């Protein structure tokens, strides 16, 4: 252990030290803490999550734009977007990004996890991960593939607004399949969306996992603890050095240090600890513990744009957006936890394929019965509706690099958005396919003029410029500490950092590929399974784990039926997945 901790305050010894109280860290604290003989320390850079605005689903844009709950990160100028500097909200506080996100609960497509395995994450097949989704969930009205007794509460909205049903019906009229529940057997198609909400309030990872864990007495959280570095004896992780409100502190790990700081901060902490590309560490005068060129590389995200339409009937949420309307919503929610305040308002959506030859959906829709800016700050002048649409398997890759070695410095982040030519094909498809859906008969009673991009945005050149100007991150970074079986992978399939002892990374940074949907549910699943891997046990594979795709996916962009089950033909499936997702 380094001698320069001698002047630091000793916070004691623990079996496990978990860095980060975000989605993954909360799950790990809960599950590892089920053993009463285990002592756990959780270090969190932020503070308490207690806030009406965090708890109230409809208020989601407030904590997302708050310095208290958000690290306030920005990207470097993005070369594929004419040098735009992008907003990059990341959760800071108990629950991490699950306390500021949009609460959309999307497992992803079962084929996502077959692709993980094909890319080297052996053992992370759908049949292996499905039991952990089930263990995590309590689903209101769920089917046989859903969990009924997990910590995380998942619900559907009331779908009282007719525009939600118009969107789903329009998808069907455009020739796409319907899905009664896109988190169960059939992910592809249009249908209702689910949200991580229980009893009318946000069900963050802190609410679901951490707070029950703290009641047991063997889990301790130190908040406002900014981790400087992981401490090593040779290549063995033995503790963590951190700053606590201006005071240098350290704690010792008798079993393992588990890094769960997220896709931006996990590689940053690894690098400050001497684990990363040797040349970058040398540039910042950091002693090398393990030369790992892949740390901080392979950064992925989901990009989205929104298409807005004027609504000809006064059925959108516009009338509720004035001060009086918001006050009424807030009062009803505080008194009863019901009404518009109890919803994230993304109550219907869809997953489709961008073109023929794509085996499973690479486009996602989040429908909103309101026309409003992405950050929730600018409202259209009148009734409207919009859909957030974006691609799920972009081939562009970015990076996370140190600004300097000080723990208070945020890293440099560049996603290299839209720097792969296929991304342009897919994003143009997002806009054109959405316009086709909005032109269906189901929207005829409601659809007025197109507010964005606008009727003059027709050519590829005009659409490309709209994308450059208006596309935004969906806030789903992943991949910077990639899991795999090859020598360049940062962690192995048990989440252990290759070449080191007693150190794991467990969060979205280890995903080999972004999933086809919002990332919070897969991150929670990942941590659920990792907690068992750490304890040396895993749940048995699911016996009913279908892998569905359209029978004509090679020749058709859309199909009314999604019925081919690849579960008994995994060799062909793996080949198709790798071929259709090759950069």
* Residues taking part in catalysis: 476
- Can you say how many angstroms the Cα of residue 355 is from the centroid of all Cα atoms in its chain? 25
**Beta carbons of 477 and 511 less than 8 angstroms apart:** no
Compute and round to an integer the Cα radius of gyration of the chain.
Answer: 23
Helix (H, G, I), strand (E, B) or coil at 76: coil
SS (H, E, C) 220-276: EEECCEEEEEEEEECCEEEEEEEEECCEEEEEEEEEEEEECCHHHHHHHHHHHCCEE
Neighbours of 467 (CB within 10 A): 23
Kindly give the pairing relationship between strand 548-549 and strand 564-565.
Answer: antiparallel
Round to whole Å and give the CA distance between 201 and 382.
29
CA angle 283, 288, 290 (to 5 degrees): 125
Round to whole Å and give the CA distance between 241 and 10.
10
**Beta carbons of 47 and 54 less than 8 angstroms apart:** no
- The enclosing H or E element of 367 equals strand 363-368
Residues 6 or more apart whose CB falls under 8 angstroms from that of 358 comprise 553, 557, 580
């Amino acid at each position: 252990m380094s001698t320069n901790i001698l002047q630091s305050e000793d916070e004691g010894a623990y079996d496990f030290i978990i860095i980060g109280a975000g989605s993954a860290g909360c799950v790990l604290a809960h599950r590892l803490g089920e053993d009463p003989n285990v002592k756990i320390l959780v270090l969190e850079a932020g503070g308490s999550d207690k806030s009406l605005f965090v708890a109230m689903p409809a208020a989601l844009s407030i904590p997302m734009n708050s310095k208290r709950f958000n690290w306030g990160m920005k990207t470097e100028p993005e070369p594929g977007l004419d040098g735009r500097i992008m907003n990059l909200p990341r959760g800071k506080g108990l629950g991490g990004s699950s306390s500021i996100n949009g609460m959309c609960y999307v497992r992803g497509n079962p084929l996502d996890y077959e692709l993980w395995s094909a890319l080297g994450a052996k053992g992370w097949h759908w049949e292996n991960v499905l039991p952990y989704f089930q263990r995590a969930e309590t689903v209101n009205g769920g089917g046989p593939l859903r969990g009924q007794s997990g910590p995380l509460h998942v619900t559907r909205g009331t779908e009282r607004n007719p525009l939600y049903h118009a969107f789903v019906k329009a998808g069907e009229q455009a020739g796409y399949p319907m899905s009664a529940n896109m988190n169960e057997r059939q992910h592809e198609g249009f249908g209702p969306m689910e949200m991580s909400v229980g009893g009318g309030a946000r069900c963050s990872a802190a609410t679901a996992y951490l707070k029950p864990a703290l009641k047991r007495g063997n889990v301790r959280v130190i908040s406002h603890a900014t981790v400087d570095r992981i401490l090593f004896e040779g290549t063995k992780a033995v503790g963590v050095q951190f700053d606590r409100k201006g005071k240098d502190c350290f704690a010792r790990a008798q079993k393992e240090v588990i890094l769960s700081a997220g896709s931006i901060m996990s590689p940053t902490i690894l690098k400050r600890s001497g684990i990363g590309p040797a040349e970058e560490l040398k540039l910042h005068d950091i002693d090398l513990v393990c030369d790992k060129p892949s740390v901080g590389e392979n950064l992925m995200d989901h990009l989205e744009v929104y298409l807005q339409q004027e609504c000809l009937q006064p059925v959108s949420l516009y009338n509720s957006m004035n001060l009086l309307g918001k006050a009424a919503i807030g009062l009803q929610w505080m008194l009863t936890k019901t009404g518009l305040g109890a919803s994230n308002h993304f109550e219907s959506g869809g997953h489709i394929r961008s073109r023929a030859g794509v085996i499973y959906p690479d486009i996602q829709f989040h429908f909103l019965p309101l026309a409003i800016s992405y950050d929730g700050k600018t409202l259209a002048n009148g009734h409207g509706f919009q859909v957030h649409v974006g691609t799920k398997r972009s081939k562009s890759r970015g990076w996370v690099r140190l600004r300097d070695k000080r723990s208070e410095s945020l890293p440099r982040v560049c996603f290299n958005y839209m720097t792969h030519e296929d991304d342009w094909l897919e994003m143009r498809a997002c806009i054109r396919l959405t316009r086709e859906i909005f032109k269906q008969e189901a929207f005829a009673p409601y659809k007025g003029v197109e507010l964005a991009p606008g009727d003059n945005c027709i050519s590829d050149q005009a659409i490309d410029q709209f994308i450059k100007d208006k596309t935004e991150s969906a806030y789903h970074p992943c991949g910077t500490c990639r899991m795999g079986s090859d020598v360049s992978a940062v962690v192995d399939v048990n989440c252990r950092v290759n070449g080191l002892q007693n150190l794991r990374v467990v969060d979205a940074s280890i995903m080999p590929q972004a999933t086809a949907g919002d990332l919070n549910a897969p991150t929670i699943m990942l941590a659920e399974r990792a907690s068992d891997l750490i304890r040396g046990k895993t749940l048995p594979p699911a016996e009913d784990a279908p892998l569905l795709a359209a029978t004509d996916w090679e020749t058709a962009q859309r199909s009314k039926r999604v019925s081919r089950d690849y579960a008994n033909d995994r060799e062909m499936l793996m080949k198709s997945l790798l071929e259709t997702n090759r950069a």
